[in-house]
Amino acid sequence: QSVLTQPPSVSAAPGQKVTISCSGSNSNIGNNYVSWYRQLPGTAPKLLIYEDNKRPSGIPDRFSGSKSGTSATLGITGLQTGDEADYYCGTWDNSLSGGVFGGGTKLTVL
Amino acid sequence: EVQLLESGGGLVQPGGSLRLSCAASGFTFSSYSMSWVRQAPGKGLEWVSAISGSARSTYYADSVKGRFTISRDNSKNTLYLQMNSLRAEDTALYYCAKDPKLRCSIDYWGQGTLVTVSS
């Protein structure tokens, strides 16, 4: 059981938009920055969003992040078949004094 | 270019020990916190441990506390994870990760090294 809650799966058609939610509490999301990662099959995770809504260089603006209270959201527009992957949110938990991840969301581009 | 290269994984019996290493390059290693994250086969990511750049601060997941020890050698640009009293549930791909703010704010990941605990 993950500390952060993500939907197990989401799907949308090519070209459409999808959002992935990440729900936590005041001990984690509510008081710490959230990062988002994409993991393509058989590869290591890759940073998509850091500090809630910032994109590293090289990440297209199709990817966006937002946060409100104890929940964070990853948005992906202009979906491509290459976006099919597992997506994870992560942050620090002050009560646990450790990092926490969501259980991951599998994105299917129909 | 940031590179993180893990090594030291393998097959070990329950109760055994392993030491993982992570050779870092492409950044000033001593200036950055580092973390270990694992992924059991077919499962999600699990944060394991983190260490500050100076090694003065270390943190552990409850699942490994008292059994695993994170350390680093800044003169060798290398991160370590000493794993003792290994259990079947420790079987996973272990990723080394650069974690600039020591707050699970990982910006770069290695490719991972596989640890299998089985008799």
Predicted confidence (pLDDT) at residue B103 exceeds the cutoff of 90: no
Does the beta-carbon distance from A99 to B47 stay under 8 Å? yes
Please calculate the CA angle B58-B22-B15 and round it to the nearest 5 degrees. Answer: 70
Structure tokens at A20: 């992935």
Chain A contact set for B114 (CB, 8 A): none
How much is the pLDDT for B104? 84
Does the beta-carbon distance from A44 to B60 stay under 8 Å? no
Strands A105-109, B10-12: pairing is unpaired
User: Average pLDDT in the B36-50 region?
Assistant: 97
Predicted confidence (pLDDT) at residue A38 exceeds the cutoff of 90: yes
Best of A28, A35, A89 to disrupt the B interface (most B CBs within 10 Å) is A35
Residues A64-75: pLDDT tens digits?
A: 999 999 999 999
Please calculate the CA angle A40-A43-A44 and round it to the nearest 5 degrees. Answer: 105
Burial class (CB in 10 A: 0-12, 13-18, 19+), B105: buried
Chain A contact set for B101 (CB, 8 A): 33
How much is the pLDDT for A99? 97
- Choose among A44, A27, A2, A18: nearest CA to A106: A18
Chain B contact set for A91 (CB, 8 A): 103-104
Structure tokens at A55: 């994109």
Predicted confidence (pLDDT) at residue A35 exceeds the cutoff of 90: yes
